[in-house]
């Protein structure tokens, strides 16, 4: 019985966290860099899978990504600098949208003052399409953590 109640409590807290996280972001309350990174990738992958154009060009991206970063990446995009590098946020050219949308894991951040590095795993570890990126987040004046840079873990092979 105790085990059943513990599982129920964990499930309830997860459901409430999912329901109220967008409200906290909308009200400008400070959230963790991990939560902000996960929220960004959930939005980005869903937005890209909706086939409504490149998410970088959507004004909603400013909710998650710092303005100087968006402005720089948009200039790079317009100059056609993304052709060989793949997507600036996922660091790949193709991925399984359903798998990644269902499996976004933000691991514990390394913090350096107002900057944090969040490892984000996209996809299941058992699939060949898994991708781990490092999301560099910076705490803004309003307390929100926003993405300022993304790098992957691949070498120069």
Q: With bands split at pLDDT 50, 70 and 90, how would you rate the model's confidence at 13?
A: low
pLDDT tens profile 62-116: 999 999 999 999 999 888 877 666 789 998 888 888 889 999 999 999 999 999 9
Helix pair angle (2-26, 33-49), 10° resolution? 80
Q: How far apart are the first and last CA of the chain?
A: 54
Backbone angles phi, psi at 152, to 5 degrees: -105, 180
Q: With bands split at pLDDT 50, 70 and 90, how would you rate the model's confidence at 26?
A: very low
Which one of 3.10.450.50, 1.10.1040.10, 3.40.50.1820, 3.30.230.10 gives the CATH number of domain 31-152? 3.10.450.50
């Amino acid at each position: 019985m105790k085990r059943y109640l513990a599982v129920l409590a964990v499930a309830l807290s997860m459901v409430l966290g999912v329901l109220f996280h967008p409200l906290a972001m909308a009200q400008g309350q400070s959230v963790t860099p991990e939560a902000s990174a996960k929220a960004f990738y959930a939005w980005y992958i869903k937005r890209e899978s909706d086939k409504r154009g490149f998410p970088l060009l959507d004004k909603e991206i400013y909710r998650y990504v710092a303005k100087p970063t968006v402005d720089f990446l948009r200039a790079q995009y317009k100059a056609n600098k993304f052709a060989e590098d793949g997507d600036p946020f996922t660091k790949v050219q193709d991925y399984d949208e359903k798998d990644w949308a269902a499996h976004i894991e933000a691991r514990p951040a390394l913090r350096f003052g107002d900057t944090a590095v969040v490892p984000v795993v996209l996809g299941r570890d058992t699939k060949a399409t898994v991708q781990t990126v490092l999301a560099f987040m910076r705490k803004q004046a309003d307390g929100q953590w926003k993405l300022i840079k993304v790098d992957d873990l691949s070498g120069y092979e």
